[in-house]
A and B are shown apart, each in its own frame.
Chain A
Amino acid sequence: MALAADRREAPAPAAPSGIARQERVEAASGYLFALPAALLMLAIILGPSAVVIAMSFTNYELGAIDWGWIGLGNYGEMLSDRTFWRSMRNTFVYVLIVVPSSVLLGLAIAIMVQSRIRARRFYEVAFFLPVTTTLVAMAIVWSFVLHSRIGPVNAFLQLLGFEAVGFFTDPDTVLFSLALIGIWQLVGFNMILFIAGLSSIPRDLYDAAAVDGADGWLDRFLRVTWPMLGPTTMFVVVTTCITAFKVFDTVVVLTDGGPLGASEVLLHSIYLEGFQYFRIGYASALTVAFLVFILVFSLVQAWVIDRNVHYR
């Protein structure tokens, strides 16, 4: 049937066997080229991820002689585990501090930098610098900058007559201190994305707004910039959410979840359960929970990208 259709569309096929052979060779090389990547993908990404889901229904522990399927047992334990809830809460508090601050700060800086002419390049490079630094090394630098006894920030606070703050030792402030480092590393990244978004806003929209009587910068921002930046903003917010949700380096290097579990976050819990206590089954269930959140963020992101494409 397909053959007949082909005939109708191409009444005079030139050297059909030659073309067919070339297509066969082409398809064969297609499989050949995709094969190594596909096998690796199954072996190191998709396969192990499926295994994690399976293991989350077992009580397997490293070194245990026997293990069995326990159905939703791990998930039940998770829901009644106070450490789990605390790390979920801390992770979300962290995300809720880091995302709005780094997005709004990135936007404000982008607007100020974008309208510079000679200094623009300098500001872009300077603000982007933290993005390229090694977070572990910079976390150690921050622990010194915010040190309760010999840090310059506390010295400055005391100079102003305030009391010294235990940035990493006080359970009430430790999440904010970690969030500060997170914001510090994300601002430049968000700024660059916003500058790209701002550059694509047509000039004449501002002229049109001016004709309509928008003259203050706030007026121009609310009437033109903010609505036109909508897709960029959505995109930056989701990307920042994913990065913030994966907070780990600063926690493991600086606080180990402490003091008193006040900075315990989801990835750190997974790391402890899986690679320190070797409770593989339970750690797998935590990983599945982590994956669910990441997938939700990714779906939103895909939806945002899709909408962006339609705008263009």
Chain B
Amino acid sequence: MSTTAEPSPLALTPVATLSVAGARIANAARLVAVHALLILALVFVLGPIIWMLTTSVKPANEIFQAGIDFMPRNPQPITNYSDAFASVPLLQFMMNGVIVCAGILVVQLLTSIPCAYALAKIRFRGAPVVFALVLLGLCIPIQVPALPLYLAFAQLGLLNTYLGLMLPFFLSVFAIFLFRQFFRSFPDEIIQAARVDGMSEFEIVWRVVVPSAWPAIAAFSVFSVTAHWNDLYWPLIVVSKDALATPPLGVAFFFDAETGSDFGSMMAAATLVSAPLIIAFLVAQRQFIQGITMTGLK
């Protein structure tokens, strides 16, 4: 605004120039103050992450020298990581994490998308009941059905199995809710035209509606994978063996067993476990922020 405005005669008087300069200085000072505050907050927010990264390449003697040196003096980029791999089956944990997250996500999409389509676009008498159940289900976190599920899984021999880790999450009411919202804005004319062309409802869902719903599916996938990669409560209940532990559970086992004696390799392990999601976030920032803050809608 100030650049395009014609210099008014008043601006040429010394007093006015002074006040313009003063405003500039005040503006600059405010800018500096804002950035200073933001950077101070960043120290709190990024501090632990940076500390984790730098400690993971510090030699043991530097770690146990209590100090505030962020940077390692004699960085040893390999030692702690190879120690971590040697003492914990980290790759196994990550593999388990991938299997569990992928299995959960695929089944969630297969069960929730048709249901969401039915609720959004098909008129049938059971619809209000199903939708009411979905709304009720939205309020119930996993900790509520956990006890009976555990007892049933013990009976069925599902403890310490991949299926046991995944089964309670095979249906996401949140996915139904979200996709229903999304499908409702899909034009009815296109669906009608597809029906006239003789497409079955099944084909309409998977070949007409789903291809247009990728943004919602991507956002939900981010939400689901993040939630289940990081989940501790259910794996802790259903798995007691290293071989089946998901990343958080594996790290928790490891931390318990070591009782804080080897911080270097623990920081290396923490880095490796956090890395996939952090890298994925940095690559696909927009989808991540969208996907995770969608829980706010929940």
Contact surface of A with B, Cβ cutoff 8 Å: 22-23, 25-34, 36-38, 40-42, 44-49, 51-52, 55, 62, 105, 108-109, 112-113, 115-116, 119, 123-138, 140-145, 147, 149-152, 154-156, 159, 184, 187-189, 192-193, 196, 235-236, 239, 246, 248-249, 252-253, 267, 270-271, 274-275, 280, 283-284, 287, 290-291, 294-295, 298, 305
B248, A249: Cβ atoms closer than 8 Å: yes
B49, A140: Cβ atoms closer than 8 Å: no
A62 contacts across to B, CB distance below 8 A: 151
A136, B248: Cβ atoms closer than 8 Å: yes
Given known contacts A52-B144, A138-B270, what 10 new A-B pairs fall within 8 Å (CB)?
A: A26-B123, A29-B202, A30-B123, A33-B115, A40-B171, A47-B148, A52-B145, A134-B229, A136-B230, A187-B45
- By Cβ-Cβ distance, the 7 closest A-B pairs, closest first, are A48-B145, A30-B124, A37-B115, A33-B114, A30-B122, A136-B248, A29-B201
Contact with A along B243-265 (1 / 0, CB 8 A): 00001110110010000100100
**B74 on the A face (CB < 8 A):** no
Chain B residue at minimal CB-CB distance from A53: B144
Chain A residue at minimal CB-CB distance from B107: A40
Cross-interface CB contact of A156 among B44, B68, B171, B226, cutoff 8 Å: B68
Q: A34-B126, A125-B285, A137-B270 are in contact. Are A287 and B143 (CB under 8 A)?
A: yes
How many residue pairs at the A-B interface have CB separations less than 8 Å?
Answer: 283
Task: Report Cα–Cα, A128/B195, bound state, in Å.
Answer: 45
A40, B170: Cβ atoms closer than 8 Å: yes
Q: Which among B2-10, B14-22, B210-218, B287-295 touches the partner chain? A: B287-295
Contact with A along B172-210 (1 / 0, CB 8 A): 010010000000000000000001000011100100000
A159 contacts across to B, CB distance below 8 A: 68
A134 contacts across to B, CB distance below 8 A: 229-230, 247-248, 251, 270, 273-274, 277
**B150 on the A face (CB < 8 A):** yes
Chain A residue at minimal CB-CB distance from B130: A34
A274 contacts across to B, CB distance below 8 A: 146-147, 150
A45, B173: Cβ atoms closer than 8 Å: yes
Chain B residue at minimal CB-CB distance from A37: B115
Chain B residue at minimal CB-CB distance from A270: B143
B66, A149: Cβ atoms closer than 8 Å: yes
Task: Report Cα–Cα, A144/B125, bound state, in Å.
Answer: 58
Q: A46-B136, A137-B274, A145-B51 are in contact. Are A126 and B42 (CB under 8 A)?
A: yes
A271 contacts across to B, CB distance below 8 A: 233, 236-237
A129 contacts across to B, CB distance below 8 A: 45-46, 49, 278, 281
Q: A27-B123, A154-B66, A287-B144 are in contact. Are A41 and B137 (CB under 8 A)?
A: yes
A-B contact pairs, 10 of them (CB 8 A): A38-B133, A41-B171, A47-B145, A128-B288, A150-B64, A192-B289, A249-B233, A283-B147, A291-B144, A294-B140
Interface residues of B in 219-252 (CB under 8 A from A): 226, 229-230, 232-233, 236-237, 247-249, 251-252
Q: A112-B38, A134-B277 are in contact. Are A275 and B150 (CB under 8 A)?
A: yes
A51, B126: Cβ atoms closer than 8 Å: no
**B168 on the A face (CB < 8 A):** yes
**B112 on the A face (CB < 8 A):** yes
Cross-interface CB contact of B149 among A28, A44, A126, A253, cutoff 8 Å: A44
A123, B147: Cβ atoms closer than 8 Å: no
Shortest beta-carbon distance from A300 to chain B in Å: 11
**B102 on the A face (CB < 8 A):** no
Shortest beta-carbon distance from A284 to chain B in Å: 6
A155, B46: Cβ atoms closer than 8 Å: no
Which of B65, B232, B273, B295 has the largest number of chain A CB atoms within 10 A?
A: B232
A44, B114: Cβ atoms closer than 8 Å: no
Q: A36-B115, A133-B277 are in contact. Are A44 and B167 (CB under 8 A)?
A: yes
A305 contacts across to B, CB distance below 8 A: 297
**B105 on the A face (CB < 8 A):** no
Q: A36-B111, A193-B296, A270-B143 are in contact. Are A127 and B274 (CB under 8 A)?
A: no
Interface residues of B in 77-100 (CB under 8 A from A): none
Chain A residue at minimal CB-CB distance from B232: A249
Task: Report Cα–Cα, A248/B230, bound state, in Å.
Answer: 13
A193, B293: Cβ atoms closer than 8 Å: yes
B65 contacts across to A, CB distance below 8 A: 150
